[in-house]
Amino acid sequence: MNTEQSIINHIATVLLDGDSEGLDSETPLTELNIIDSAGIFDLVHHLQDEFRITVPLPEVSPENFATVHAMAALVDRLRAEQEGVR
């Protein structure tokens, strides 16, 4: 399963009662009130656990959590940065 699909599955399960219909990588999550500030922090914890990364507080921004694609890009970037440090 790729990064985007993993995030979609989590959002569908936790925030949408298992219904991912209409949810794709470019769905505007905050604009459609699919996630709010509490939901963003739930997603931060999920991303850290699922992908074994650390999400620094400055990265927890509306832009990085606006869409599944934006979150996946954040995960991929942080993984690359943090794997280079380990």
| pLDDT reading at 85 higher than 70 | no
Q: How confident is the model over 36-62, as a mean pLDDT?
A: 93
CA dist 48 and 33 (Å) reads: 23
The CATH number of residue 25's host domain is 1.10.1200.10
Q: How many CB atoms lie within 10 A of CB 70?
A: 19
pTM of the entire predicted model: 0.89
For the chain, how many structural domains are there in total? 1
7-29: per-residue pLDDT in tens?
A: 999 999 998 888 888 899 999 99
Q: Provide the residue range defining the domain that includes 39.
A: 3-85
Which has more confidence, 37 or 69? 69
Percent of the chain with pLDDT strictly greater than 90: 67
Q: How far is CA 59 from CA 16, 56, 76, 77, in A?
A: 24, 5, 13, 11
Tokens (6 digits) for 2: 């790729």
